[in-house]
Chains A and B, each alone.
Chain A
Amino acid sequence: MAKTETELLTVNINGVDRQAKPGMTVLDLTKDLGIKVPTLCHDPRLKPYGACRLCLVELEGARNPVPACATILGPGMVIRTDTEQIHRIRRTVIDLLLSDHPADCMTCEKCGACALQEYAYEYGVRRSSFKAGAKHTVRPQETDPFVARDLSKCILCGRCVRICDEVESAFAIDWIYRGFETQVSTAFGKSLKDTPCEFCGQCISTCPVGALTEAPALPGRTWETKKTLTTCAYCGCGCTLELHTKDNQIVKVASPVGVGTNNGNLCVKGRFGYQFINSPDRLTKPLIKKGGEFVEATWDEAIKIVSDKLGDIKAKHGADAIAGLASAKCTNEENFVFQKFMRAAVGTNNVDHCARLCHASTVTGLAMAFGSGAMSNSIDDLEGTDAILVIGSNTTEAHPVIGMSLLKPVRQKGAKLIVIDPRAIKLTKFADIWLAQKPGTDVAVLNGLMNVILSEGLVDEAFIAERTEDYEELKKILPAYTPEKVEEISGVPADDLRRAARLFAGAGSAAIVYAMGITQHTTGVDNVLTIANLAMITGNIGKPGCGVNPLRGQNNVQGACDMGALPNVYSGYQKVDDDAARAKFSDAWGVPMPEGIGLTVVEVMNAAADGKVKGLYIMGENPMLSDPDVGHVEEALEKLDFLVVQDIFLTETAALADVVLPGVTFAERDGTFTSTERRVQRVRRAIDPVGESREDWRIISDLSLAMGYPMSYDSASDIMTEIAALTPSYTGIGYSRIEGCGLQWPCPSVDHPGTPILHVGQFTRGKGKFHGIEFKPPAEESDVEYPMILTTGRLLNQYHTGTMTRRTAGLDEIYPVAAAEISPKDAKKYGLTDGDKVRLVTRRGQIEATALVTDKSRPGIVFMPFHFKEAAANRLTNPALDPIAKIPEYKVCALRIEKV
């Protein structure tokens, strides 16, 4: 503490000596001291700009007043914030701004939340004294989805332009013209749709006046709406949302600056993709299929049918003839209750969920190498890193807010970026080195990097000696992976590989970020183990700014795994084949736990197709679009004796069900989600359940009761208490502790502050384990009949199977069609131009899509998003599985294309 005190400097503000930390601005200090200094162009997310001149303060010795937002405190500074001159200047600035501003507060969307309005009130500037002053010309701009631009209200604080550049790295808007006629504009006044705009809405979030507002504006100004803080239900970033609701409707989504890991930033889905919540398509009553048609039913009827049917199957064929798919979209509490229901009430370990399809290889691989299969470091930890290696992650589209965190050190602090990806994604534009490998050759490329690191003596010997074991295993296989050999396999130029290796190994701290480009392969576990090798060989694990950072794809896929919605583990990854764990849960739940590891997602489908699984309970998943080879999935589901689907919409899967139970969206329930950085965060009910829909845990509890296994929970919080009691990594987590910004597990006790970085000092499994992994080609390679490679993935503006995003008009407007991204070279070869219909054929099936000719794709590779039911990419994908993690190979299969 003594050290900190000596570092403080003394300044004098308004006649009082104050202590300040070095590097603080005048504004930082006045905020801390509660001294009011008005600002318009300031946003803590942005670099100081000093344009509005409202925050000017007097600094002794300076010729002119200085901007508080940009003036770094120096020792002995004498500052006055409230002199007559300062007051006059502030009034003048407000007066001038009002002179060029329409006085239509009465009808302005921003009324009540407008900074200019507030300051005019505070400084008593009733109207501008420049009565006859001209207004700036508003040059025409085309209209846009989501963003309403009223440039007559613009005060040119520049926050939108800067946030689009500094935070979003989209560069969609800038200033045009000079002097009084200066205006913010897109290029040539075009619609934002025709610019690089990503519709994150950060510009709206930072606009201090009514120039930028949400479109369409739903009725309800700031004082009329209820505001509920909760956690976003799209990807795994775990962004804090502030739902503005009126009359049980969501009217706006915002995010307060300074709260949560996203700090006020959101992506297009989080900010604008909420229309599904109040969609007329929502299921509002239980449905029972009678004579091939759904008819509405009461909850009692529905619960009875489900419990009777499941009871029958169990009685006739045994509990293992029933399987359940939990949901990465639902809360921890619901997933916990779901797996408890399957294990305790039904009596089977046949419970799994879509994590199988995204990060099963991570969970397995990292458990083998480190002992724990989650993101090792934290999102904000990336900011302090020296180098980032991104492999198999289109971060700015699939995890947009993490994409921002990742680009910040690269663009503002000189951190180096290496991207390994077969496609020219946005990140490659900012990369120091981009290695474009052939899909499915990741092990070769990573081994190649380590070959160079080893041969050039860049390994961290001390770390290896102290923290790891089996290094010899790795050392044995590396010599074969010379850069030249790797170039042959992967197409990555040998010299680029060398440069990348030196850059990565030479950095003080280097983080590895990856996602489904690594995991969704038949070599998924191999890929993950190889990444773990690379982190360990360079000592980049267990300290700030580094680590192995798998990005989880759904809001609560981390939590669903943590909760034991997996066939081999209970909550907290306690193994079902561990006798002590089985005894513990049998004891806690008062019934003997089933023996043996259950079936995984794809195995469930196969077993259903084979008639071994007869009853299936699906909560909030849509395998009819999300699973590989959906033709096969359809056959399997149709073969079931009984299918119950619990969802918010009548999805493609629900349509096949015998009973459909209406669940609720995240906006209608309490609970917690665990984000990709292991942060357990609150989900709070903002509106009442739509129609007769019910929170999923209540449905399961009722069903369980009907099946003779009562569960009595009064609230989601009750469930968390049980989770904490049974799950070592969640022991210290309770609602009272996570009201603020949540807690990162492991949190083993109620006074534990949570764990931002895993494997500090020691790995979860003790020593980090190296594995010698040889390159194996993908299950299916291109050949004469199928000469191209298909790879699939996500788009920024759509999500998963589209059930939520495709019910928001603007999202569909921005990216409306299922497009197959084809390189210009291939387009020429097949006589295709942009917008042509193209048929994609694989050994599993065929679809028709629209050709999108783009440099993003390299010759020989076609990319296809999997969100669109009208051209379901998963009719084409290969269900070949990783032998250990049982994850299918979504990322590579052989393809033929034909012009339609």
Chain B
Amino acid sequence: MTPRIIVGLGSCGLAAGAKDVLAAIEAELAAKGVEAAVEQTGCIGLCYREVLVDVVTEAGKVTYGDVTPKAVTRIIQEHLIEGKPVEEMIVLSEERGSEAAFLAKQYRIVLRNCGLIDPENIDDYIAAGGYQSIEKVLKTMTPEAVIGEVKTSGLRGRGGAGFPTGLKWELTNKAAGDRKYIICNADEGDPGAFMDRGVLESDPHSVLEGMLIAGYAIGADESYIYCRAEYPLAIKRLNIAIKAAKERGYLGANIMGSGFNFNIKIKEGAGAFVCGEETALMASIEGQRGMPRLKPPFPATSGLWAKPTCINNVETFANISWILKNGGATYAAMGTEGSKGTKVFALTGKISRSGLAEVPMGMSLKEVIFEVGGGIKGDGEFKGVQIGGPTGGCLPAEVINTEVDYDSLTKIGATMGSGGMVVLDQSDCMVDLARFFLAFAQNESCGKCVPCRVGTKRMLEILERITKGEATEDELVTLKALAQDIKSASLCGLGQTAPNPVLSTLRYFQDEYLAHIRDGHCAAGVCAALTKVEISQKFCRQCAVCIRHCPSQAISGARHETTVIDQTKCTQCRICVATCPWDAIFVVSPRTAELVEPEREAVKEK
């Protein structure tokens, strides 16, 4: 067979330089006169090892990670010409690979094709069993039977709220209306979340097929994918997929001779986070400013243009064709009592393997973070995990054995959210983290209701004062009370959950708040107003690297001279800390005169 070289061309791969790698592969093959098929695929989830390149020969498939244009020469020479795979670069292969553990505990339904097929080639999707479910549905099932199957599966909405999907379909199916709509919510906006992007870029047809099945089930013939404009690659691949599906007769009029018509339009978002909220999203499609509307009426009875509308998120739709093919019961066999099937998580932060992972519901946080995710990056210590996006919660090590499911997470003050998981270590300040997420929610508030628009601003101001050591303990009481009022009085889900990062950090990390307030001490050394940067003359080798790098000209001295930071000029950008070859520059908490990162001393001794 002709060897195949497959380059991962998701956003993560492209960001890591996959384009250059692809060019290098083509150039190298031509230069060496080697015959091989060069193909593309999406993201398999190992984002932390991009650029990923698969080499498929008669001997099987191996995946190389961290591939650079330079490494290409070696791979082609050794693997293709000499027949000896470059062992130390292999991250995955059938029987070995350094990252095998990443996949070992996953169960991939949503991500079943991601990183395996060419997302721009419909034949790849079909070859992987695609569009068989819609065929089965159209030829053998009634809409009610489809809804029954989805209900049996126990699938709950993966956008965050976890509303039972089958029930939503049933309500929309039964709602009276001359016209109904399907909407796919692809306005993924949580910082640190990229599950939906992964699916859209790597397996767009699975989403289209899910929408088709939903359309048949509820009696809709028109649909929208509302995708954030910041995902240009996803939009490009969706457009390619829609065009191909139309050409093959999977979209359009009288699909597979069934009399069922279905069309999909793409609506690009304009950058407002709140448009991920379903009613704001529909307002945006209608050409209005994206502001949430009151519920009830719920979209199932009065949604887009006041017609019954079924709105699900990308991941939810990506589950559907699998469920219809394998049966709702098979799906329901996985997971916990209230949460069935699998969930995709975007692992980010201080975690070894940052990327996309899909695990069965009910797996513990510990397994997800330490076994799938490989634990904390470097030599840091696990401090907590922010789960559920900017309006989710921040959980400490004590609850790490909690099972990942909707109900368990809610119980301990977090939410499943859409699946962002930001792992934190000792260098993360929980007050600052809460401030960051609240600032995000405040900026993205639509401004409609008072608690969210003004309330989160006032909370943010208190948090800012805490991070500057200016707050009083009384203000913690105000903060908490205000947070509760915002939760119960806000109009939409954004406002109702915006205080969660504050409430959960107050619940689990109150000491850190108190340390900021009472001692002016930020143990993580993050809060700039409570720290300063100093050069340890003990470790300084007077190389002047810091002087060259300081953007504020705040460091005086020269080579072979004593080097000192002028605190009046220092902006705490900490470039010097990062660039000092001798790790001689420290973040200091002035009020406690304590080095914030004293562990570096030990490292320095060698």
A52/B449 contact (C-beta < 8 A), A134-B457, A179-B457 known? yes
A100/B454 contact (C-beta < 8 A), A64-B488, A88-B485, A130-B461 known? yes
B447 in the interface, Cβ–Cβ < 8 Å? yes
> A64–B456 Cα gap in the complex (Å)?
18
A703 in the interface, Cβ–Cβ < 8 Å? no
**Chain B contacts for A178, CB-based, 8 A:** 272, 274, 443-447
* CB of A5, distance to nearest CB on chain B (Å): 27
Q: How large is the interface on B (under 10, 10 to 19, 20 to 34, 35 or more residues)?
A: 20 to 34
Find out whether the CB atom of A53 lies under 8 angstroms from the CB atom of B450: yes
A132/B461 contact (C-beta < 8 A), A51-B491, A64-B488, A175-B289 known? yes
Most buried by A among B451, B458, B487: B458
Give the residues from 461 to 507 in chain B that come closer than 8 angstroms, CB to CB, to chain A: 461, 478, 482, 485, 487-491, 496
**Chain A contacts for B456, CB-based, 8 A:** 179-180
* CB of B494, distance to nearest CB on chain A (Å): 11
Find out whether the CB atom of B458 lies under 8 angstroms from the CB atom of A156: no
Contact pick for A182, options B453, B461, B487, CB 8 Å: B453
Find out whether the CB atom of A50 lies under 8 angstroms from the CB atom of B447: no
Contact pick for A177, options B447, B449, B461, B488, CB 8 Å: B447
Give the residues from 96 to 111 in chain A that come closer than 8 angstroms, CB to CB, to chain B: 96-97, 99-100
Give the residues from 328 to 344 in chain B that come closer than 8 angstroms, CB to CB, to chain A: none
**Chain A contacts for B96, CB-based, 8 A:** none
**Chain B contacts for A67, CB-based, 8 A:** 294
> A53–B482 Cα gap in the complex (Å)?
14
Find out whether the CB atom of B489 lies under 8 angstroms from the CB atom of A56: yes
Find out whether the CB atom of B448 lies under 8 angstroms from the CB atom of A179: no
B442 in the interface, Cβ–Cβ < 8 Å? yes
B533 in the interface, Cβ–Cβ < 8 Å? no
**Chain B contacts for A174, CB-based, 8 A:** 289
Find out whether the CB atom of B455 lies under 8 angstroms from the CB atom of A92: yes
A85 in the interface, Cβ–Cβ < 8 Å? yes
Find out whether the CB atom of A175 lies under 8 angstroms from the CB atom of B291: yes
> A85–B488 Cα gap in the complex (Å)?
10
Find out whether the CB atom of B490 lies under 8 angstroms from the CB atom of A180: no
> A129–B485 Cα gap in the complex (Å)?
15
Find out whether the CB atom of B489 lies under 8 angstroms from the CB atom of A99: no
Find out whether the CB atom of B447 lies under 8 angstroms from the CB atom of A93: no
**Chain A contacts for B458, CB-based, 8 A:** 96, 99, 130, 133
A425 in the interface, Cβ–Cβ < 8 Å? no
Find out whether the CB atom of A50 lies under 8 angstroms from the CB atom of B445: no
Can you name the residue of chain A whose Cβ is closest to the Cβ of B442? Answer: A179
Can you name the residue of chain B whose Cβ is closest to the Cβ of A93? Answer: B450
A115 in the interface, Cβ–Cβ < 8 Å? no
Find out whether the CB atom of A48 lies under 8 angstroms from the CB atom of B294: yes
> A96–B274 Cα gap in the complex (Å)?
21
A824 in the interface, Cβ–Cβ < 8 Å? no
Find out whether the CB atom of A180 lies under 8 angstroms from the CB atom of B489: no
Find out whether the CB atom of B491 lies under 8 angstroms from the CB atom of A50: yes
Contact with B along A53-83 (1 / 0, CB 8 A): 1101000000011010010100000000000
**Chain A contacts for B450, CB-based, 8 A:** 51-54, 93, 96-97, 155-156
Give the residues from 273 to 325 in chain B that come closer than 8 angstroms, CB to CB, to chain A: 274, 289, 291, 294, 296
* CB of A205, distance to nearest CB on chain B (Å): 22
Find out whether the CB atom of B445 lies under 8 angstroms from the CB atom of A70: no
**Chain A contacts for B455, CB-based, 8 A:** 92, 96
**Chain B contacts for A158, CB-based, 8 A:** 448
Q: How large is the interface on A (under 10, 10 to 19, 20 to 34, 35 or more residues)?
A: 35 or more
Find out whether the CB atom of A179 lies under 8 angstroms from the CB atom of B445: yes
> A64–B272 Cα gap in the complex (Å)?
25
Find out whether the CB atom of B461 lies under 8 angstroms from the CB atom of A97: no
**Chain B contacts for A489, CB-based, 8 A:** none
> A178–B448 Cα gap in the complex (Å)?
9
> A8–B445 Cα gap in the complex (Å)?
40
**Chain A contacts for B294, CB-based, 8 A:** 48-50, 67, 70
Give the residues from 25 to 70 in chain B that come closer than 8 angstroms, CB to CB, to chain A: none
* CB of B65, distance to nearest CB on chain A (Å): 40
> A54–B485 Cα gap in the complex (Å)?
12
* CB of B52, distance to nearest CB on chain A (Å): 37
Find out whether the CB atom of B457 lies under 8 angstroms from the CB atom of A133: yes
Find out whether the CB atom of B453 lies under 8 angstroms from the CB atom of A65: no
> A72–B442 Cα gap in the complex (Å)?
30
A93/B443 contact (C-beta < 8 A), A134-B457, A178-B272, A179-B457 known? no
* CB of B497, distance to nearest CB on chain A (Å): 11
Contact pick for B489, options A89, A100, A177, CB 8 Å: A89
Contact pick for A53, options B445, B457, B490, CB 8 Å: B490
Contact with B along A160-193 (1 / 0, CB 8 A): 0000000000000011011111100000000000
Find out whether the CB atom of A133 lies under 8 angstroms from the CB atom of B461: yes
**Chain B contacts for A179, CB-based, 8 A:** 442-445, 447, 453, 456-457
A51/B449 contact (C-beta < 8 A), A64-B488, A65-B489 known? yes
Find out whether the CB atom of B478 lies under 8 angstroms from the CB atom of A96: no
* CB of B269, distance to nearest CB on chain A (Å): 13
**Chain A contacts for B445, CB-based, 8 A:** 178-180, 182
Find out whether the CB atom of B461 lies under 8 angstroms from the CB atom of A134: yes
* CB of A79, distance to nearest CB on chain B (Å): 16
> A474–B444 Cα gap in the complex (Å)?
65
Give the residues from 404 to 428 in chain B that come closer than 8 angstroms, CB to CB, to chain A: none
Find out whether the CB atom of B491 lies under 8 angstroms from the CB atom of A53: yes
**Chain A contacts for B490, CB-based, 8 A:** 53
Contact with B along A844-862 (1 / 0, CB 8 A): 0000000000000000000
Can you name the residue of chain A whose Cβ is closest to the Cβ of B470? Answer: A132
> A899–B360 Cα gap in the complex (Å)?
80
Find out whether the CB atom of B448 lies under 8 angstroms from the CB atom of A93: no
> A500–B280 Cα gap in the complex (Å)?
36
Find out whether the CB atom of A64 lies under 8 angstroms from the CB atom of B482: no
**Chain B contacts for A100, CB-based, 8 A:** 454, 457
**Chain A contacts for B446, CB-based, 8 A:** 178, 182
Find out whether the CB atom of A64 lies under 8 angstroms from the CB atom of B447: no
* CB of B575, distance to nearest CB on chain A (Å): 30
> A182–B272 Cα gap in the complex (Å)?
13
Most buried by B among A92, A129, A179: A179
> A410–B269 Cα gap in the complex (Å)?
29
Find out whether the CB atom of A92 lies under 8 angstroms from the CB atom of B482: yes
Can you name the residue of chain A whose Cβ is closest to the Cβ of B290? Answer: A178
> A72–B291 Cα gap in the complex (Å)?
21
Find out whether the CB atom of A53 lies under 8 angstroms from the CB atom of B447: no
Can you name the residue of chain A whose Cβ is closest to the Cβ of B487? Answer: A64
Contact pick for A65, options B272, B291, B449, B488, CB 8 Å: B488
Find out whether the CB atom of A180 lies under 8 angstroms from the CB atom of B453: yes
Most buried by A among B447, B449, B485: B447
* CB of B581, distance to nearest CB on chain A (Å): 43
* CB of A69, distance to nearest CB on chain B (Å): 9
A89/B485 contact (C-beta < 8 A), A53-B490, A178-B444 known? yes
* CB of A435, distance to nearest CB on chain B (Å): 27
> A130–B455 Cα gap in the complex (Å)?
10
**Chain A contacts for B478, CB-based, 8 A:** 129
Contact pick for A180, options B272, B454, B487, B491, CB 8 Å: B454
> A130–B460 Cα gap in the complex (Å)?
12
Find out whether the CB atom of B451 lies under 8 angstroms from the CB atom of A93: yes
Q: What are 27 residue pairs bridging A and B, where the CB atoms are less than 8 Å apart in the complex? A: A50-B491, A51-B450, A53-B449, A64-B496, A65-B488, A65-B489, A70-B294, A72-B296, A92-B451, A92-B482, A96-B454, A96-B458, A97-B450, A97-B454, A99-B454, A100-B454, A134-B457, A134-B461, A156-B453, A175-B291, A177-B447, A178-B445, A179-B444, A179-B453, A180-B454, A181-B447, A182-B447
Q: Which 8 A-B pairs have the closest CB atoms?
A: A182-B447, A96-B454, A180-B457, A179-B445, A50-B294, A92-B485, A130-B458, A51-B448
Q: A interface vs B, CB < 8 Å? A: 48-54, 56, 64-65, 67, 70, 72, 85, 88-89, 92-93, 96-97, 99-100, 129-130, 132-134, 155-156, 158, 174-175, 177-182
Known pairs A65-B489, A92-B451, A134-B457. 8 more at Cβ < 8 A?
Answer: A53-B450, A56-B489, A72-B296, A89-B485, A99-B454, A100-B457, A180-B453, A182-B445
